[in-house]
Structure 1
Amino acid sequence: MSVTAKNDRKVCRAYFGKSYQHPFNKPDDFGGADIKFPSKKASIYYGWVIALLGCLTVLGAHGFGRFAYPLLLPYMQRDLNLNYFQMGLLATGNFIGYLIMVVAGGVLASKYGPRIVISASAVLMGASMIWTGLSSQFEHIFVARMLTGLGNGGAYLPSVVLPSIWFPSEKRGRITGMVVSSASLGFALSSVFVTSVLSAYGMTGWRYCWHYFGVTLLVIAAADYLFIRNKPESLVETERAEGSSKGESDAYSPFKWNLVYRNRNVWFVGLLFLAFGLAYSIYLNFFVAYLQALMWPENIIALIWFMIGALGILSGFAWGWLSDVLGRKFSIFMAFSTLFTAFLLSTISPITHGLYCSAILFGISMSSIPTVAVVTAGEYVAPTLRSTAAGFVTSLFGVGQLIGPALGGYIIDSTKVFSYSFLIAAICSFSGLIGALKLKNPKKSENMGIKILLYFYPYFLNKLERLHGCTKRFYSATSIETV
């Protein structure tokens, strides 16, 4: 290696830290810990196993535990003679459990590790789903649905956050988006599966669906417990060395958790997430009713809903990749701009083409903020507190989802006009659009282009020097000496 290349490596070590290794290892962005990312010789990086388990858990927790419920509810109503108030209570119980655990789950994952929290929550979900299928009394089903919500919140959030510890910052958005998009895949699979089971078993088919979903969650829980690792080995060794001097309990003390709740940037991301949750829930709950009020055919409405779900499968990964390339701040701005356009079209354009465009734009951006906001909040704090930060901002997202349907329904009942509720959603998205401009970029996202250039500069310089040497030898071998 040339002297110039060696000097350039020294420059990069001064920029990145003493633990800089080129071209496949680099220090973590927090604390200088040297996390070993995949090298050329590694066959399969274990972080991909963590990401795959996250996809399976989110698919089961959200896709089967949450999105399958509206499909089964009409059959449960007829078989159990439930009224609409009781149906609403079942949905409320599930959401209350989810909202409680989405906060507590992040804190518990930070203290006891994601592996225990994810696997235990998946077991709780599986057992409560089986109980739902066995129950015939409203009170028992209500408790079972609340337990399912608790398990959903505890399994979903740590599964989304955990891959961010295993991958460098320039890949976290894409990996998180891939995991989040598994919920949309679960939605599509559950719709096909529920239709098949109900056609085979008739009125009591909803019980078999809950049994199958419960057994699936128990299998996923076993896989999570066996194969999930909380963090890379190199980071464990670094924290163990630090823990011997600072004390083991200090890493998870309440004073450390206050670093999340007192962080203004985390609060700002949470408020943006709340605005998204309010607007998102209004559109999601009343768009189909709006199309039915316009006398659209049921098959067309079903096709539009399937299209939204299909676009949502790619939405999370696409927005995660965009946030890695263009930065978190600009990605949040673009996401709110797309959502604002979708909601505004549903407000001012009751014609067919306008509503089609509205549905397409919503499907493209429905997983955008849930992907980018969780990653952004985690990058404002230390790695051990990322689950807590993600749980905090997701709880504000839940508050928005709690307010949105009630507010939108009240406006529709009072005015008999759907467009006014969509206008509220558009206003919330516009406020998020403006707020994104005020958002402070995480330190990881600042000067990313410079970091990439410095990172790969010695590698490309070495290649150029070798090419220059080959060129000189070629011309010296083919040159004609003149007398």
Structure 2
Amino acid sequence: MSDNVTAGRRQTGPLGGLVITVLLTSFVAATYGFGFYLFSQLVTDMRRDLGFGYTAVGTITAAGQLGFLVFAMIGTWLASRIGGGQVTIGSVALCAICLLLLPMTDSIVVIGILLTILGGTAASVYVPLVEIVGRVIDYKHRGKVLGLVSSGTSYGVFVNSLLVPSFVADGDWRGLWYVVGFGTLMVTVVATVTFWRLGLFRPDPAEAEQAAEQRAEQEADGGKGGALSGVRMVLVRWVVIIWVIKFMNGFAFMPFQNYLSPYLREGLGFDIDFAAQVWGVIGIIGMFSGFAVGWLSDKIGVRASLLICYGCFFLSSMLLVLAPVGYLPMVSGVLFAVAFYPIYGLVPAYVSKTAKGTAATVIFGVTNVVQGVGGIAGNYTAGALKNLTGDFMWYYVLIAFATVALGVLTLQLPPEGSDENATEKKPVGKAAAVPAGGGTE
């Protein structure tokens, strides 16, 4: 890669990097924190006014998961064609529009459609983040930045917790949707101007040069390759491992949080106050753990940080299985929070430090799809085990085994940015020919 192209990738100083980090975190806070998380807090008041039942709530929740998967695929496809910056801004703008439209209707069908789209924007806004971070954030800071971004959901939920009581007390749940909608719209306007000034709506110079080289190679090869060349660009050993890891993350850790309260209250006999305290601790720790573990990953490496997280998950699940007494479930919650939010920043950090441009977007887009599929499979398996055994405990046993397998898979990953991670010339099982270059930036 020529020096002038490499230099063209770095057009932001510390202030620009800070602004981009805040904006990306706010995107995640809005799309993840204000959609279904706000709906779950307002569902009682909305049901009282609109008269829908829990069957509708369950249907909407399932539709939101489907929307996440569909938008993850669409976002990946669009980002590789029109650019990650455009997809991210478009997703946040669509999120703002849906938030503003939701309180304007009394139809639960329309509300369900809007919430399904909101669930989708959570995926499509996240897919291009590795490309954007790779363009404007220095290599040595990407772990902490993506770690902070991955904690964005916690900040959204925290904002909800501040706003919900006052609006609900006045019986004005519609007003709260308007507030978060207008707030998201304002962030979208600021982000659009910022992205334009930083050149994020224009093609990455390094990506353009790489594409030109690939076209030249195809022409020299008589035009052979076509779509298969795009597949070969990303189908390498470490990418397949990352996809398996993300599937297992969804399979194990999404049900962990979904079934934690029922397990504590129905399986272990704790009261609602203790379960609420556990979740309160998880939320508070989640606001800081993403940045803290991300910062650590920049110092000791993403793989080592992943192993620490999986160790925390293992201890957390085993405490719920072997010693769920006294305040030990609270300790389990602490360990879960230390690992859960960072895990969603560490994988994109690994990808952003290894692949670039379209390859990074495609790789990370697929990870969101397989994680969603893993979450669906995990939630179904957890429910089936509960019906079969009468106890949620056995799924936490399964989670413990899954964390061991995840640790073994993590050890199979090459160090981020190493020559082993090339995504351009090395199909699965073949030697690398072109280094990814992530470690040289």
Q: Is the shorter-chain TM-score for this pair beyond 0.5, marking a shared fold?
A: yes
Aligned to 2:327: 353
**1:218 equivalent in alignment to 2:188:** no
Deviation at 1:268, TM superposition (A): 0.7
Q: Normalising to structure 2: TM-score of the pair?
A: 0.84
8 Å CA contact retained: 2:144, 2:291 = yes
**Aligned counterpart in structure 2 of residue 440 of structure 1, from 386, 407, 414:** 414
Deviation at 1:231, TM superposition (A): 5.6
Aligned to 1:431: 405
Residue by residue over 1:225-283, the C-alpha shift from the partner in whole angstroms, topping out at 9 and shown as x without a partner, is: 221157679994555566677769x9xx8556424552231121111111111111221
CA distance in 1, matches of 2:160, 2:125: 18
**Aligned counterpart in structure 1 of residue 174 of structure 2, from 189, 196, 207:** 207
Aligned to 2:155: 185
CA distance in 1, matches of 2:363, 2:199: 17
**1:132 equivalent in alignment to 2:105:** no
Deviation at 1:444, TM superposition (A): 4.5
SS in 2 for 1:381: coil
8 Å CA contact retained: 1:62, 1:156 = no
**Aligned counterpart in structure 2 of residue 408 of structure 1, from 372, 376, 382:** 382
Residue by residue over 1:271-314, the C-alpha shift from the partner in whole angstroms, topping out at 9 and shown as x without a partner, is: 11111111112211111112222343333322221110111111
Point out where structure 1 has 5 or more consecutive residues left out of the alignment. Answer: 1-16, 20-26, 447-454, 456-483
8 Å CA contact retained: 2:282, 2:337 = yes
CA distance in 1, matches of 2:47, 2:17: 43
Counterpart mapping for 1:47-446 below 5 A: 47-159=17-129, 161-201=131-171, 205-229=172-196, 236-237=204-205, 254=227, 257-259=230-232, 261-293=234-266, 294-444=268-418
Deviation at 1:126, TM superposition (A): 1.7
Deviation at 1:346, TM superposition (A): 0.8
SS in 2 for 1:67: helix
SS in 1 for 2:37: coil
Between stretches 352-361 and 143-152, larger displacement belongs to 143-152
Identity rate, percent? 22
Computed over aligned residues only, the root mean square deviation of the Cα atoms, in angstroms, reads 2.9
Deviation at 1:326, TM superposition (A): 1.3
Residue by residue over 1:400-438, the C-alpha shift from the partner in whole angstroms, topping out at 9 and shown as x without a partner, is: 111122211221122221211211222222211121122
Q: Is the alpha carbon distance of 1:141 and 1:234 closer, same or farther for their aligned partners in structure 2, counting shifts above 3 Å?
A: closer
SS in 2 for 1:417: coil
8 Å CA contact retained: 2:144, 2:293 = yes
SS in 1 for 2:189: helix
Q: Which amino acid aligns with 2:253?
A: Y
SS in 2 for 1:443: coil
Q: Which amino acid aligns with 2:142?
A: R
Aligned to 1:479: none
CA distance in 2, matches of 1:305, 1:77: 24
SS in 1 for 2:415: coil
Q: Is the alpha carbon distance of 1:160 and 1:61 closer, same or farther for their aligned partners in structure 2, counting shifts above 3 Å?
A: farther
CA distance in 2, matches of 1:157, 1:36: 20
Deviation at 1:217, TM superposition (A): 2.0
Deviation at 1:211, TM superposition (A): 2.2
Deviation at 1:336, TM superposition (A): 0.9
8 Å CA contact retained: 2:286, 2:338 = yes
8 Å CA contact retained: 1:161, 1:390 = no
Deviation at 1:372, TM superposition (A): 1.0
Q: Which amino acid aligns with 2:262?
A: A
SS in 2 for 1:76: helix
Q: Which amino acid aligns with 1:304?
A: V
Q: Is the alpha carbon distance of 1:95 and 1:245 closer, same or farther for their aligned partners in structure 2, counting shifts above 3 Å?
A: closer
Between stretches 64-73 and 355-364, larger displacement belongs to 64-73
CA distance in 2, matches of 1:108, 1:64: 24
Deviation at 1:71, TM superposition (A): 1.1
Deviation at 1:130, TM superposition (A): 2.4
Q: Is the alpha carbon distance of 1:401 and 1:233 closer, same or farther for their aligned partners in structure 2, counting shifts above 3 Å?
A: closer
Deviation at 1:73, TM superposition (A): 2.1
CA distance in 2, matches of 1:414, 1:266: 36
CA distance in 2, matches of 1:254, 1:167: 30
8 Å CA contact retained: 2:250, 2:374 = yes
CA distance in 2, matches of 1:160, 1:58: 13
Larger relative contact order, structure 1 or 2 (CA cutoff 8 Å, min sep 6)? 2
Residue by residue over 1:323-380, the C-alpha shift from the partner in whole angstroms, topping out at 9 and shown as x without a partner, is: 2111122221221111111111111112023211111100111122211111223444
Deviation at 1:150, TM superposition (A): 2.2
CA distance in 1, matches of 2:298, 2:337: 21
Q: Is the alpha carbon distance of 1:442 and 1:273 closer, same or farther for their aligned partners in structure 2, counting shifts above 3 Å?
A: same
Deviation at 1:72, TM superposition (A): 1.8
Q: Is the alpha carbon distance of 1:404 and 1:77 closer, same or farther for their aligned partners in structure 2, counting shifts above 3 Å?
A: farther
Q: Is the alpha carbon distance of 1:247 and 1:421 closer, same or farther for their aligned partners in structure 2, counting shifts above 3 Å?
A: closer
Q: Is the alpha carbon distance of 1:55 and 1:336 closer, same or farther for their aligned partners in structure 2, counting shifts above 3 Å?
A: same
Q: Is the alpha carbon distance of 1:258 and 1:92 closer, same or farther for their aligned partners in structure 2, counting shifts above 3 Å?
A: same
8 Å CA contact retained: 2:60, 2:112 = yes
Q: Is the alpha carbon distance of 1:247 and 1:322 closer, same or farther for their aligned partners in structure 2, counting shifts above 3 Å?
A: same
How many equivalent residue pairs? 412
Deviation at 1:177, TM superposition (A): 0.8
Q: Is the alpha carbon distance of 1:326 and 1:396 closer, same or farther for their aligned partners in structure 2, counting shifts above 3 Å?
A: same
CA distance in 2, matches of 1:141, 1:148: 10
Between stretches 268-277 and 227-236, larger displacement belongs to 227-236
